[in-house]
A = this chain, B = another copy of it.
Amino acid sequence: MKKGPITGKHGLQIEVDVAFKDINPVNYDVLVISGGRGPEKMRLDKDALEITKSFAKENKLIAAICHGPQVLISAGVIKGKKATCWPGIRDDIIAAGALYEDKEVVIDGNLVSSRSHDDLYAFGKEMLRIIKQF
């Protein structure tokens, strides 16, 4: 992903302030991986996977919702972890060794995951609860 403006599928434009390749994960405390079609591209970006691996290794907070856990599969950090995701990729996180739970939010140590936008309240609430413990 490059620095600069990008437009989402609903027309919303946001400014990407830093590219994955220019991120040093040491300078960040929380990794939030959102859903949609993005994770299928993000999981092919080796810099994004290195960032994800670094967060997992350092036991820093990783939050992933909807299709976000696709990145966790590719980074090899979901095996043996309790997690949830969008139903359409449920069998993929199971095949990758995750312990799937069909709940609005699942917490396993440093990993917070949710199924869809319907779960956003619970997802955000648990993220904040863990951040406050830092």
Contact = CB atoms under 8 A, between A and B. Distances in A.
Interface SS of A by simple majority: helix
A1 to B, nearest CB: 15
Interface residues of A, number: 16
A75 to B, nearest CB: 9
A95 B87 CA distance: 17
Given A44-B88, A73-B91, A92-B95, 7 more contacts: A40-B86, A44-B87, A70-B88, A73-B92, A74-B91, A92-B92, A95-B95
A103 interface: no
Nearest to A40: B88
Contacts of A44: 87-88
